[in-house]
Amino acid sequence: MDGALISSQQAGIYKVKQLEKADVTSGAEIGINGHRLSGGVPVAKPRAGRGKLKAAGLIGLGAVLGVSLSLHFSAVAERQSTMFNLPIDEVRMLSEVFARVKAGYVEEVDDKRLIQEAINGMLSGLDPHSAFLDADAFRDMQTATSGKFGGLGIEVGSEDGFVKVISPIDDTPAFKAGIKSGDFILKVNNSNLRGISLTEAVKRMRGEVGTEAVLTILRRGEAKELVFNVKRAVIEIQSVRARQLEPGIAYIRVTQFEQSTAEKLVRAINDSYKQNNGQVRGMVLDLRNDPGGVLEASVAVSAAFLPKDALVVYTEGRLPDAKMRLSARKEDYQRRSGKEDVLAKLNPAVKSVPLVVLVNNGTASASEIVAGALQDHKRALVMGIQTFGKGSVQTILPINDTTAIKLTTARYFTPNGRSIQAKGIVPDKQVDDGTQRLVMREADLDRHLSSDEERKAIEAIKTAPPDDNKTLIALKKEDEKPVDYKPAKGLDGLPIDFVLQQAVNYLNGQAVAANPREWLAMTTANGGKPAASVAVVKSDSVAPKSATSR
């Protein structure tokens, strides 16, 4: 989101707020804490002994700060302008720092760069998802939510000054090259990314379509850095895919929530019923490594499986328009469109078909809304591992025609009132194939918003009896040897991965294994190999073929 695309940093959940030109006033005279602004430029007399430096700082900063200090913030719900009272002492400090940097930095610095970096710092210091969107980033954000953009195809975040992969997007250059969730991107074409802003890191990863980006990756468990050659491409996100696993069992994968996801979902579901002569006895909704996207799309996907008017999600924030209750009805998932209900042609049988939702640590934001809603309404069994835990909403606030800010404006809650922030969705059935060697979640990101649930979980860990921890360590040592799972193939000839196979087993009323080792034990106990697949203990781990070590 705030946490998917290499061009827009993170998909997350987005709302776009359109601002009229009248929302920003720069020419009026406005009083701020007793000081007067004339023509949008702060006018202040330097105090005795301060000299000309401070006065120069105040006036030199005026061209930009004048606009900032005279902003009127428009709340969408009532469209009322409310002037912010800014702390004048801190504003003076900002102008002082600006003037000193301008006058004394070892190299001459452009005013625009200083102001932009100040804005970047103001927003990025709040949480991992708030950001300033310059002309390039704003344009990329708009194209990303439409489902087509140029880049590598990965969602990134930051941790301890490093750029960290949240998840690669299916069938993009990064996905095909072997980039994995949890990888740290150290360099792009020998350009070090350590310590720079996430926005700047994303810019360095951009480039002309067809050009190659050399990514230097640090991956847990690998003794050396890995180098991947990834060719940039125009990425058209196929946000919904379908396949036939076996007769009567349909598989729907949602890779990201964009504006046309609901339409694609309806086609995929209806096609599945046609391919099975109307007899679908079970369905798998795969949300693994889905980083999120457009809020309304997640409501529409939830509504496809829920009764009409069932609550899907609600949000809470400080502004009136940040408080919403979104349900399974057209008005909530097609708020910007007067067209026919996108779900009107959906096969009604899907409302009651047995459903399994697959999730993992790359399931974030909008996809967590879907999993949480279906789980709370007991409409589906959620299977996999704990999700990412991004329970916040980012609103895109245009500043002018070319720039905007992406600001965290609300937390969202599942129908039963659960906050997902920094905790995520806990599956009904834990199934882990062991491929996520380095698990990263919202709680691992710098400056993430904390939730009561997270604080309670941390406290529980601190107060846990020592014996519990020792038991966990002992169990991990016993399971050090990896297990190789040899998948069966679906009707389409493609392999069925371990977690997906367990979903099929559940729908068929068969035993479900929590991991490949347990599956191997079940196989041994039965005295033979299961028809669907084979699991064997591996002697060594195999290095990825798509990367070279150095």
What angle, rounded to 10 degrees, do the helices at 51-69 and 88-104 form? 120
> What pLDDT does residue 12 have?
46
Active-site residue, from 7, 74, 158, 365: 365
- CA–CA distance, 74 with 71 (Å, rounded to integer): 9
> What pLDDT does residue 511 have?
92
- CA–CA distance, 529 with 523 (Å, rounded to integer): 6
The count of other CB atoms within 10 Å of the CB of residue 173 is: 23
The count of other CB atoms within 10 Å of the CB of residue 267 is: 14
- Give pLDDT tens digits for 382-410: 999 999 988 988 888 999 988 999 999 99
The count of other CB atoms within 10 Å of the CB of residue 388 is: 37
Which letter does DSSP use for residue 12 in this model?
E
> What pLDDT does residue 454 have?
60
CA pseudo-torsion sign 528, 533, 535, 539: positive
Mean pLDDT of all residues in the chain?
76
- CA–CA distance, 278 with 184 (Å, rounded to integer): 46
Residue 131 vs residues 68, 118, 157: alpha-carbon distances, Å: 16, 12, 12
Active-site residue, from 2, 170, 290, 376: 376
- CA–CA distance, 183 with 194 (Å, rounded to integer): 14
In the chain, the percentage of residues whose pLDDT exceeds 90 is 43
Nearby residues of 395 by Cβ (< 8 Å), 6 or more positions away: 14, 15, 16, 17, 322, 406, 407, 409, 410
Nearby residues of 525 by Cβ (< 8 Å), 6 or more positions away: none
- Give pLDDT tens digits for 138-183: 877 766 555 555 689 887 877 777 898 877 877 889 999 999 888 9
Structural domains for the chain: 21-122 (no CATH), 135-236 (2.30.42.10), 240-475 (3.90.226.10), 483-549 (no CATH)
CB 298 within 8 A of CB 366: yes
Q: Given a cut of 70, is residue 230 above it in pLDDT?
A: yes
- CA–CA distance, 304 with 275 (Å, rounded to integer): 19
Bridge partners, residue 410, by sequence = 393
Q: Is 332 annotated as catalytic?
A: no
Active-site residue, from 390, 423, 433, 451: 390
Q: Is 376 annotated as catalytic?
A: yes
Select the highest-mean-pLDDT range: 315-319, 420-424, 447-451, 453-457: 315-319
Q: How confident is the model at residue 467 (pLDDT cuts 50, 70, 90)?
A: very low
> What pLDDT does residue 84 have?
58
327: which 2 tokens?
């349900």
Bridge partners, residue 358, by sequence = 286, 383
Q: How confident is the model at residue 10 (pLDDT cuts 50, 70, 90)?
A: very low
- Give pLDDT tens digits for 77-101: 233 333 457 788 998 999 999 999 9
Q: Is 365 annotated as catalytic?
A: yes
CB 355 within 8 A of CB 380: yes
- CA–CA distance, 503 with 9 (Å, rounded to integer): 32
- CA–CA distance, 189 with 211 (Å, rounded to integer): 11
Q: What are phi and psi of 93, to 5 degrees?
A: -60, -40
> What pLDDT does residue 396 have?
86
Q: Given a cut of 60, is residue 457 above it in pLDDT?
A: no
By C-alpha distance, which of 254, 230, 231, 250 is closest to 241? 254
pTM greater than the 0.85 cutoff: no
> What pLDDT does residue 82 have?
37
